[in-house]
Structure 1
Amino acid sequence: MNLLNESHLIYTHLAAKTPPFEKLKDKDPRWKKHRGVEQRNAGLKWLRENLILNKNKGVVYFMDDDNTYSVKLFDEMRKIKKVGVWPVGLVGGFNAEAPEIDTTGKVSGYKSGWKPDRPFATDMAGFAINLDLILSKQDAQFSYKMAKGFQESEFLGYFVTKDELEPMADNCTKVYVWHTRTETPVIKGELPGFEV
């Protein structure tokens, strides 16, 4: 909250609890449960209730607390007409997962460490959607019924086909977002004079 207040950006801070049946237990691997379903759907609901189709401009991007972003990524998003895609660094066991681009400039497949044959084999950090598409497709949302690891694919399927994706970041050759993961730090003590 302090970061948002100090940013001087216009924002709305939403909160949504993950239901108990989807909460990870201490020893559970991260992939065992869906994450972010309630939170992303709360954001989509707010947009649809507060913004107007063809009047408000922008893109919808699902940022995560375990990613690191270059400001260049947000410059790229300004170009999106429907759905823009780009590589994500340090994900899937690769230095970067990325859409593969053919000689016509279209997405032909994906370099992905996990199920590259998914309809949209991308990380949540690897795409953004034009706001008008979000507002025009009222039924598009995330679900606990989606197969594990298919949230991105099923959600993007509401809006575009693979042929309609817009390769960004110099034709998907540059990495402007990295999955650096947020982990609980081990604190050995506190140094006086620092406000956290």
Structure 2
Amino acid sequence: MASIRRTLSPYHDRPYQNGGNPFSGDSPSHKVMYNGKASAFGVGVPKFITGVLLPKSSRKGLNSWKKWFIRCSMFFSLGFLLGMAPFGGVEDVRDRDFSFEERFVAKPAEIVKEEDVKNLVVVERPEENFEVDKVELGVVDVKDVKMRFDFVPRKQLIVVTPTYNRALQAYFLNRLGQVLRLVPPPLLWIVVEMNAASLETADIVRKTGVMYRHLVTTKNLTDIKDRGVHQRNTALEHIERHKLDGIVYFADDDNIYSLQLFESLRAISRFGTWPVAMLAQSKNKAILEGPVCNGSQVIGWHTNEKSKLLRRFHVDMSGFAFNSTILWDPKRWKRPTSDPIRQLDTVKEGFQETTFIEQVVQDESQMEGIPPSCSRIMNWHLHLGARELFYPRAWLLQKNLDVVLPNS
């Protein structure tokens, strides 16, 4: 039986729990480990490998430096073989893109001035450039707001129209409604009927698309000389009760009006007047009635009716307009009395206009002629009503017209 010589261990004096020295030749494990025939590395392993892996063993004819050289060579070869072994798919890191600077770090840009940075901020991306507008937070100066929104709101126009059932009523209301539809808002159309509000009138007014109020005057027709006076008074009472603010204008439905007239009404401060072209009752001539102006100052009146020479103000009912606050705010206009301003049915026919104006103003100095110099005709009073003609109920034809065949 072969044996291996070994040097004495310097640790032979150290006691062990299991007794004996683990490096002594008497240990069972030592015999197994270093036995040439029953080595722990198995059969067929060269003996020089066991000598290299076990540093404590010694062999004859080998120097210590050769042992270390062989040992390092073995470990180097083992590490090289393990590194080349195919343990799985190996990805070539050279093909990977680790360019963090291109993805996450902004490219060096040129020197930008501070003024340019304030106007524009550019965020660079790999493929696209997105421009972000500048956002400023701060308090806007009140002067800038006033300059930006410096506008004067339009005055409201309050158009009062008395109407009644007759043959041409639908034609008159539709014509006036289409004109008012073209007037820039705000505009309020007050339509007044006698005794009851007819469905036909309500339907016509509603379809025009103009903001309106449909009022009714409850009076006994046997005691009425002029129904229009009471209808206008109903509208004046409504304006006073609700304190509507605007320019009041009496626009009869049978008159003809231009858009320039309604544009001029908003320039009135207290009381405005203008000339009206009229067709005489005999329908054989046209006459002019209204103010004579020097600029916007009223200095005289046009009149052709000798019976009306006694009137204080020669104005047609559709030839003047006034501020509605005169009705419900007498202190503002320094009126001498707080009595309600109304048209009078007790006066002679043709004098309703002048008696009403005398309650609103004292003389021509409180009037405004429009347009300047009162040189333009903006509405016409033609007296084209046909009172004896028949009109169908609800403006619908219930029966077919008779067919007239030509003479053969």
The answer on 1:122 being equivalent to 2:295 is no
Q: Secondary structure at the match of 1:121?
A: coil
Aligned to 1:184: 387
Aligned to 2:291: 99
Q: Which of structures 1 and 2 has the bigger CA Rg?
A: 2
The answer on 1:109 being equivalent to 2:286 is no
With over 3 angstroms needed to count, the CA separation of the structure-2 counterparts of 1:17 and 1:67, relative to structure 1, is farther
Q: Secondary structure at the match of 1:171?
A: helix
With over 3 angstroms needed to count, the CA separation of the structure-2 counterparts of 1:22 and 1:75, relative to structure 1, is farther
The answer on 1:132 being equivalent to 2:325 is yes
Q: Deviations over 1:55-87 (max 9, x none)?
A: x53111111122111111110100010111011
Return the letter of the residue paired with 2:297. Answer: K
In 2, the alpha carbon distance for the partners of 1:104 and 1:75 equals 18
Give percent identity, aligned residues only.
Answer: 30
Aligned to 1:151: 352
In 2, the alpha carbon distance for the partners of 1:46 and 1:118 equals 28
Deviates more, 1:6-15 or 1:72-81: 6-15
Q: Deviations over 1:27-74 (max 9, x none)?
A: xxxxxx4341210110011111112xxxx5311111112211111111
Aligned to 1:163: 365
Any residues of structure 2 matched to 1:35-50 within 5 Å, and which?
35-50=227-242
The answer on 1:61 being equivalent to 2:253 is no
Q: Does structure 1 conserve the Cα–Cα contact (< 8 Å) formed by 2:313 and 2:354?
A: yes
The answer on 1:75 being equivalent to 2:263 is yes
CA root-mean-square deviation: 2.7
In 2, the alpha carbon distance for the partners of 1:184 and 1:106 equals 40
In 2, the alpha carbon distance for the partners of 1:60 and 1:148 equals 22
For this pair of structures, how many residues does the alignment match? 179
Aligned to 1:174: 376
Larger helix percent? 2
Gaps of 5+ in 2: 1-201, 331-338, 391-396, 401-408
Moved over 6 A (4+): none
How big is the shift at 1:129?
A: 0.7
With over 3 angstroms needed to count, the CA separation of the structure-2 counterparts of 1:119 and 1:111, relative to structure 1, is same
With over 3 angstroms needed to count, the CA separation of the structure-2 counterparts of 1:147 and 1:57, relative to structure 1, is same
In 2, the alpha carbon distance for the partners of 1:6 and 1:66 equals 19
Q: Secondary structure at the match of 1:48?
A: helix
Q: Structure 2 length normalisation: TM-score?
A: 0.40
Q: Secondary structure at the match of 1:13?
A: strand
Q: Deviations over 1:123-177 (max 9, x none)?
A: 1000001111122255210122223221111111111122211001342111111
Q: Deviations over 1:81-103 (max 9, x none)?
A: 011101111255544212112x4
Q: Secondary structure at the match of 1:36?
A: helix
Q: Secondary structure at the match of 1:178?
A: strand
With over 3 angstroms needed to count, the CA separation of the structure-2 counterparts of 1:22 and 1:172, relative to structure 1, is farther
How big is the shift at 1:113?
A: 2.1
With over 3 angstroms needed to count, the CA separation of the structure-2 counterparts of 1:139 and 1:80, relative to structure 1, is same
Q: Structure 1 length normalisation: TM-score?
A: 0.78
Q: Which has the higher contact order (CA 8 A, sep 6+)?
A: 1
Q: Secondary structure at the match of 2:250?
A: coil
